[in-house]
């Protein structure tokens, strides 16, 4: 995944602009962040280029600064001074929205788009719109008037053509992780990875980590360990790096740390590390098998669970 945040002299940025089919992919649109110049828009955390994989080519980047995104029967509100963008790349569709509380978005594999529903047109005097149905969810994206109607139509044709020949979701899954940032807070998701797919991956020395919705799997050589996220007492995130502490907790704030079971790793991006921290937080009060600090102090740790922590401690030493 691409981790660069851009720069006017970045050769990679120049190559992306030159390789794009449409004129809407520009150096400014790929690299701007942090400076909310009136009327120009920005993202809060990362430049657009940071959300691209290293081998990913954006062909159309359709922006707006004032319109809301229609997501099924729900709306993602536009925030003043921030961008909302629909990016059609050679691999997938990205729907990104900047905001004061951070950037959010959705990844849409071409394979879930119904090609018969893709429409790119002029809507009113100045606005343009690109819409489609993906995963049974209707999607409408209003585009600023500076983008020519001809390019909006070209983008729609490209999306429809890719959707018509894409091997549904398997092609997207085979490329690895699909989320680079938190998703829209909506009840009608286009698509989510299956439960057995990791939400993020990391490495620390010779140890590899895969984080799932409810579990953290660690592998180092022939040794493995698997720990429920509910047994993560704390995850300290700094950029793409994260430090995990493990143990037992309950909903009343009582905690009991397991000694020697710590893990320092680096994720593929800062957004991935934050995503894992959010997953841990969501599981914090979900006590697996009813094991609380009081239970441990009274009855000790079961042999099966102790083996999990011992295996993690052995891996953490390597």
Using pLDDT thresholds of 50, 70 and 90, give the confidence band for residue 187.
Answer: low
Q: What is the DSSP string of 187-212?
A: SS-S----TTS-SEEEEETTEEEEE-
Q: Return d(Cα 139, Cα 136) in angstroms, integer.
A: 10
Measured in whole angstroms, the distance separating CA 314 from the mean position of its chain's CA atoms is 31
Higher-pLDDT residue of 141, 50? 141
CATH numbers and ranges of domains, the chain: 11-173 (2.30.29.30), 200-317 (2.30.29)
Apex CA 163: angle with CA 161 and CA 168, to 5°?
145
Using pLDDT thresholds of 50, 70 and 90, give the confidence band for residue 6.
Answer: very low
Percentage of the chain beyond pLDDT 90 is 17
Residue 137 CB-density burial (10 A; 0-12 exposed, 13-18 middle, 19+ buried): buried
Percentage of the chain beyond pLDDT 70 is 75
Q: What is the pLDDT of residues 157-185, one digit of tens each?
A: 999 999 887 554 444 544 434 444 566 76
Q: pTM for the full model?
A: 0.58
- Strand 127-134 with 232-238, pairing: unpaired
Q: Return d(Cα 137, Cα 160) in angstroms, integer.
A: 16
Using pLDDT thresholds of 50, 70 and 90, give the confidence band for residue 9.
Answer: very low
Whether the per-residue pLDDT at 154 is higher than 50: the answer is: yes
Number of Cβ atoms within 10 Å of the Cβ of 237: 17
Using pLDDT thresholds of 50, 70 and 90, give the confidence band for residue 39.
Answer: very low
């Amino acid at each position: 995944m691409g981790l660069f945040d851009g720069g006017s002299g970045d050769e990679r940025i120049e190559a992306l602009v030159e390789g794009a089919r449409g004129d809407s992919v520009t150096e400014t649109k790929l690299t701007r962040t942090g400076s909310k110049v009136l009327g120009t828009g920005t993202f809060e955390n990362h430049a657009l280029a940071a959300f691209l994989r290293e081998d990913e080519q954006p062909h159309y980047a359709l922006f707006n600064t004032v319109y809301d995104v229609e997501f099924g029967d729900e709306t993602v509100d536009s925030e003043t001074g921030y961008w909302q963008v629909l990016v059609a790349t050679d691999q997938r569709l990205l729907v990104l929205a900047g905001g004061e509380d951070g950037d959010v978005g959705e990844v849409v594999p071409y394979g879930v788009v119904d090609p018969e529903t893709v429409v790119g047109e002029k809507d009113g005097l100045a606005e343009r719109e690109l819409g489609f149905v993906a995963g049974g969810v209707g999607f409408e994206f209003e585009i600023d008037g500076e983008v020519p109607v001809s390019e909006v139509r070209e983008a729609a044709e490209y999306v429809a053509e890719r959707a018509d020949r894409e091997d549904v979701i398997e092609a997207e899954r085979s490329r690895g992780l699909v989320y680079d940032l938190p998703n829209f807070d909506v009840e009608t998701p286009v698509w989510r990875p299956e439960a057995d797919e990791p939400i993020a991956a990391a490495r620390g020395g010779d140890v590899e980590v895969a984080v799932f919705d409810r579990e953290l799997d660690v592998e180092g050589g022939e040794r493995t360990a698997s720990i429920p996220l509910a047994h993560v007492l704390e995850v300290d995130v700094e950029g793409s790096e994260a430090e995990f502490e493990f143990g037992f907790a309950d909903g009343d704030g009582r905690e009991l740390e397991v000694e020697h079971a710590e893990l320092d790793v680096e994720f593929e991006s800062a957004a991935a590390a934050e995503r894992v921290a959010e997953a841990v937080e969501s599981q914090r009060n979900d006590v697996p098998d009813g094991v609380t600090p009081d239970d441990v102090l009274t009855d000790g740790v079961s042999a099966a669970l102790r083996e999990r922590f011992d295996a993690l401690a052995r891996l953490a030493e390597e």
